[in-house]
Structure 1
Amino acid sequence: MNKKIIFFDADGTIVKGSNISPLTLEAFKKLKENGHILVLSTGRAIPAIDGILKDMNFGNTICSGGGVVVIGDKIVYSRPMSKESQKELLDYFDKHNVLYNLEANDYIYIKKGYKEKYLRLFQLPDKETVTIEEYNKHKAMLEKVSSRTKEVDDAMEIDINKLHYYAADILYDGGGCPISYDDLERDLGEKYKCVPLSLSKLFAGGEVCEIGVSKKGGMEVILKHYKVNKEDIYAIGDDYNDIEMLEYATTSIAMGNAPKQVKDMCDYVTDDVDNDGFYHAMKHFGLI
């Protein structure tokens, strides 16, 4: 079998929460045994690639939605946001009182005084409703998120790759997010790349970055490095920020939990993340 290169999203594609299923782990084991090149392609910033994702040591990572590319342990490409854009976006979201974080290569930054509110997204469940094991897992996740998140007095002093805003009601004391995605598109869509996120109601919101930053751009860096034939490029994802990656790949695969728009533009739709869609897709195409 010719060596293939497989670009895959993280959340909703190979992981749910902080878990990777046994069959997905088996798929990666077989993909490595078959000599394929694996590339984690995620909207997550470098500090948020932790836990099982870090332990997997894929060797190649496109992160921050294409703003940063890592091969081995080395950042080989980085495109931080311009200071002019950074100030305009900070002013916009501050004016509308929308909670956001700023993704950099060392920390996830948040405006001073807002970290405690942000951590509501990862709040611990009631001990009476889950097992001790589940409770401890949630607690470890909360501690991990807290340690990688740093409050900042002056956000203009840091270099960021993108801004991630949140729309979950829990962050707005029952009042709801002050702006809708349609508002964002109307106000910023001509000047910035705005991407909605549909991971869950809790993590609803979106990302804003410079136009031209995309997973496709990260793919081009990786492909130049490995000199892979166009016909040997596979990509699999589940959300709107995967669209450019899926369009660029020769063979595109949508997860069963992907929005209809993503499914409609892909060559193949596999099962959802809860039913080992990644494993079944790799099996379908004879990669494992």
Structure 2
Amino acid sequence: MTQKKILFFDIDGTLISEVNNEIPESTKNALKKAQENGHITIINTGRTRALVEPRLEDMGFDGYICGCGTYIEVNGKVLYHKSIEKNKYKEIINFLNENEMETIIEGEKAIFMDYDSKSKDVQAIIKNFEKRGFPMKPYTSDELYFDKFFATLKNSDKLENIVEYLENEGFDYIDRGSNNIEVVPKGHSKATGMEFLLNYFNLKKENSYAFGDSYNDTAMFEFCPNGVLMANGEKDLSKIVKFVTKDVDDDGIQYALQHFNIV
């Protein structure tokens, strides 16, 4: 019998096409077959749990690592959840505003944005997220909740000050390029979520596979001995993965799972 494997999947550019925003039927079929073959399928995403769409849930994943390792769920049971202390919310928002950062605050059940912002970019993001059906609320909501946040630096001269603040306040950040940073509580990443579930399922690291396409998958690839980069992904990540598969739109997930004899 084939040894049980645990498969970790990024969402955007990996499961979902960034060309047509669709999940290929080949991906759905391949993941179902992998489960039938006794393997475990896990979404491993920078998105918080609120942003895991119903169409992804309908695929029947065994679990979710969300918010860069801040939330872990298996078979409907929450195993781990780390959020930012509520007494820090006001201070963080004030700091972000003072340092000219356009920010998306991400919580377990909703995402929060500055609805009063005069920035055309911010208003465009709000409209786009609402169109996509994401649960949106303003900063002023009584339900404000931080698991992590995503910020765009409008003034790169402020970067040194921002980095110093984040490090002093117990945060890690991922440089997403183009003056974008993803901020999480210190010690959390896609890799820490993977390690947690390897221990939970009592599986060895060599039986783990990670599928991704972008720089926020770096920790996942560095941790996992069987990293799989989508051909549509960041080319220089090919140096730290085991296999480069086809584009998501060219049945890349199915191709990789067949390559590793998982399906």
TM category (shorter chain) comes to: 0.7 to 0.9
Q: How does 1:5-154 map to 2 (within 5 A)?
A: 5-17=6-18, 18-83=21-86, 86=89, 89-114=92-117, 118-121=122-125, 142=131, 144-145=133-134, 148-153=135-140
Verify the 8 A CA contact 1:115 1:151 in the aligned structure 2. no
Q: State percent identity of aligned pairs.
A: 29
Which shows bigger deviation, 268-277 or 30-39?
A: 268-277
Are 1:163 and 2:149 an aligned pair?
yes
Verify the 8 A CA contact 1:77 1:221 in the aligned structure 2. no
Query: Residue 133 of structure 2: SS of its match in structure 1?
Result: helix
Verify the 8 A CA contact 2:63 2:73 in the aligned structure 1. yes
Counterpart Cα distance in 2 of 1:270 and 1:20: 16
Counterpart Cα distance in 1 of 2:88 and 2:247: 37
CA 1:143 to 1:74, structure 2 compared with 1: closer, same or farther past 3 Å? same
Verify the 8 A CA contact 1:236 1:252 in the aligned structure 2. yes
Corresponding letter in the other structure for 2:146 = I
Q: How does 1:112-261 map to 2 (within 5 A)?
A: 112-114=115-117, 118-121=122-125, 142=131, 144-145=133-134, 148-153=135-140, 158-166=144-152, 177-179=154-156, 186-188=163-165, 190-191=167-168, 192-197=171-176, 205-261=180-236
Verify the 8 A CA contact 2:99 2:158 in the aligned structure 1. no
Which shows bigger deviation, 256-265 or 53-62?
A: 256-265
Question: 1:244, CA displacement in angstroms?
Answer: 1.5
TM-score normalised by the chain length of structure 2: 0.85
Q: Structure 2 unaligned segments of length 5 or more: list them.
A: none
Counterpart Cα distance in 2 of 1:251 and 1:42: 17
Verify the 8 A CA contact 2:130 2:136 in the aligned structure 1. no
How many residue pairs get aligned? The number is 257
Corresponding letter in the other structure for 2:221 = L
Which shows bigger deviation, 180-189 or 265-274?
A: 180-189
TM-score normalised by the chain length of structure 1: 0.78
Counterpart Cα distance in 2 of 1:49 and 1:142: 15
Corresponding letter in the other structure for 2:5 = K
Counterpart Cα distance in 2 of 1:115 and 1:34: 52
Verify the 8 A CA contact 1:188 1:194 in the aligned structure 2. no
Q: Structure 1 unaligned segments of length 5 or more: list them.
A: 125-139, 168-176
Corresponding letter in the other structure for 2:229 = A
1:129-156: CA deviations, max 9, x gaps? Answer: xxxxxxxxxxx970513xx01113278x
Question: 1:158, CA displacement in angstroms?
Answer: 3.8
Counterpart Cα distance in 1 of 2:207 and 2:93: 41
Verify the 8 A CA contact 1:255 1:263 in the aligned structure 2. no
CA 1:287 to 1:182, structure 2 compared with 1: closer, same or farther past 3 Å? farther
Query: Residue 144 of structure 1: SS of its match in structure 2?
Result: coil
Counterpart Cα distance in 2 of 1:268 and 1:181: 38
Query: Residue 56 of structure 1: SS of its match in structure 2?
Result: coil
CA 1:119 to 1:112, structure 2 compared with 1: closer, same or farther past 3 Å? closer
CA 1:70 to 1:119, structure 2 compared with 1: closer, same or farther past 3 Å? farther
Verify the 8 A CA contact 1:99 1:166 in the aligned structure 2. yes
Question: 1:87, CA displacement in angstroms?
Answer: 5.1
Verify the 8 A CA contact 2:152 2:181 in the aligned structure 1. yes
1:80-127: CA deviations, max 9, x gaps? Answer: 124576555423321133221211112112235249954513757xxx
